[in-house]
């Protein structure tokens, strides 16, 4: 059994907001990953099951390797259809905000969402949630927003009513946000939840194949290029750095999601503690920073101090507005600053 995560007052508040709403928008952060899409689609399926008019809306395109998920054909993409989606946002009488903790994470969609007087609900697992939602459930100790959402739906509606589609989406989010349960996943209740979802008929092996055996030849070539040509290893810091420019992305016909998970690969080097990946964004003039770590090295602290970001202990990210060579130097400065922790045995 899993413990209830909501107080009686929180259950009442959740139910009142959902029951009173007629046009619900379910959304997540920019550049949605598996946890964001899993949460958005699972919550949408729950609302559809309840007879609600709900629209899953994402700020920009999501990776091709998630397009198999049940319900993706209903997803509206703001950047592609700004006028059409903007009308949906204006008509919304409830926003469900999943897997992000501040409105800036909506990027170009932020102004349209925040201009609405409709109440907002947040379910998220990141630190320091901003005060922009009427109903907030923020638990940074959770492995993923999908784990947290499972607990919410189980409490307010009962596991027995959860559908296979909902469970499939939730499992996908939990799996991807823990590196296939390789980090942030040492609590026994995570595996109790997985067991409950298996009882719903999910095919966890097929979900894994759908996500990780769904790459193009160019993606594999890009992976080889990054590891063989671009990876810099710093044995004195037990750390690695990879970079990817826009020109290199064009060379390998890069698509959204093609670099997903690559930042984890240098951690396979013996005794490695930290991996950093710098990628020039193709939509904005910034460098996206991804950090992954082992054991108790605080990626989130490094991201906040050096990369205008944050996140979790072993998985964090940020952005830099500078040329790539300057970004590389910032990473090296960060490694030097955190050298005592990186060298710690």
Domains of the chain, residue spans: 8-211, 217-343
Give CATH for domain 217-343: 3.10.310.30
List, as own/partner pairs, every contact residues 244-252 make where C-beta atoms lie below 8 angstroms and the sequence separation is at least 24, other chains included.
244/277, 244/278, 244/279, 244/280, 245/280, 245/324, 246/280, 246/282, 249/279, 249/280, 249/282, 252/218, 252/219, 252/221, 252/222, 252/225
Half-sphere exposure of 79 (CA within 13 A, CB side): 14
Residue whose entry in the numeric block shows the structure tokens 């009686």: 8
Mean pLDDT of the chain: 95
pTM (predicted TM-score): 0.90
Give percent above pLDDT 70 in the chain: 100
pLDDT in tens, 85-124: 999 999 999 999 999 999 999 999 999 999 999 999 999 9
The encoded tokens of residue 237 equal 């810091």
Asked whether the predicted pLDDT for residue 220 surpasses 90, the reply is yes
* C-alpha–C-alpha distance, residues 106 and 100, integer Å: 8
Nearest residue to 223 (alpha-carbon basis) of 241, 242, 204: 242
Residue 74 gets which letter from DSSP?
Answer: G
pLDDT in tens, 5-42: 999 999 999 999 999 999 999 999 999 999 999 999 99
pLDDT in tens, 139-165: 999 999 999 999 999 999 999 999 999
* C-alpha–C-alpha distance, residues 274 and 131, integer Å: 32
The predicted structure's pLDDT at residue 215: 87
Asked whether the predicted pLDDT for residue 345 surpasses 70, the reply is no
The encoded tokens of residue 285 equal 């003039």
* 8-211 has CATH 3.30.450.20 classification: no
pLDDT in tens, 263-316: 999 999 999 999 999 999 988 899 999 999 999 999 999 999 999 999 889 999
Question: 3-class SS at 254?
Answer: coil
Residue 262 gets which letter from DSSP?
Answer: G
CA 258-141-96 angle, to 5 degrees, is: 70
Contact 136, 125 (CB under 8 A): no
Cβ atoms within 10 Å of 130's Cβ, excluding its own:
13
Percent of the chain that is helix, strand, coil (3-state, to 5): 45, 15, 35
């Amino acid at each position: 059994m899993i413990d209830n995560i909501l107080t009686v007052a929180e259950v009442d508040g959740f139910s009142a907001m959902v029951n009173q709403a007629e046009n619900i928008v379910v959304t997540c952060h920019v550049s949605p990953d598996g946890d964001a899409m899993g949460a958005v689609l699972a919550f949408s399926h729950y609302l559809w099951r309840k007879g609600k008019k709900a629209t899953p809306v994402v700020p920009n395109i999501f990776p091709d390797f998630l397009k198999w998920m049940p319900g993706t054909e209903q997803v509206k993409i703001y950047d592609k259809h700004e006028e059409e989606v903007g009308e949906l946002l204006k008509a919304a009488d409830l926003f469900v905000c999943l897997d992000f903790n501040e409105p800036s994470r909506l990027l170009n969609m932020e102004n349209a969402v925040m201009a609405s007087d409709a109440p907002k609900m947040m379910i998220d697992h990141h630190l320091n949630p901003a005060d922009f939602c009427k109903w907030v459930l923020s638990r940074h100790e959770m492995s993923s927003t999908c784990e947290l959402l499972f607990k919410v739906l189980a409490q307010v509606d009962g596991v027995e009513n959860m559908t296979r589609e909902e469970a499939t989406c939730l499992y996908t989010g939990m799996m991807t946000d823990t590196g296939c349960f390789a980090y942030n996943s040492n609590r026994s209740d995570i595996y109790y939840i997985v067991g409950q979802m298996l009882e719903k008929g999910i095919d966890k092996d097929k979900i894994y194949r759908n996500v990780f055996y769904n790459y193009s030849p160019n993606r594999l070539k890009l992976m080889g290029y990054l590891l063989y040509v671009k990876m810099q290893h710093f044995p004195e810091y037990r750390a690695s750095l990879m970079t990817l420019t826009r020109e290199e992305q064009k060379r390998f016909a890069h698509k959204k999601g093609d670099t997903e998970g690559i930042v984890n690969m240098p951690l396979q080097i013996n005794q490695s503690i930290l991996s950093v990946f710098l990628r020039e964004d193709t939509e904005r003039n910034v460098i996206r920073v991804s950090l992954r770590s082992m054991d108790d090295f605080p990626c989130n602290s490094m991201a906040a101090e050096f990369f205008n970001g944050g996140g979790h202990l072993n998985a964090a990210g940020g952005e830099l507005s500078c040329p790539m060579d300057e970004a590389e130097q910032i990473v090296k400065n960060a490694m030097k600053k955190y050298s005592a922790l990186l060298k710690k045995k």
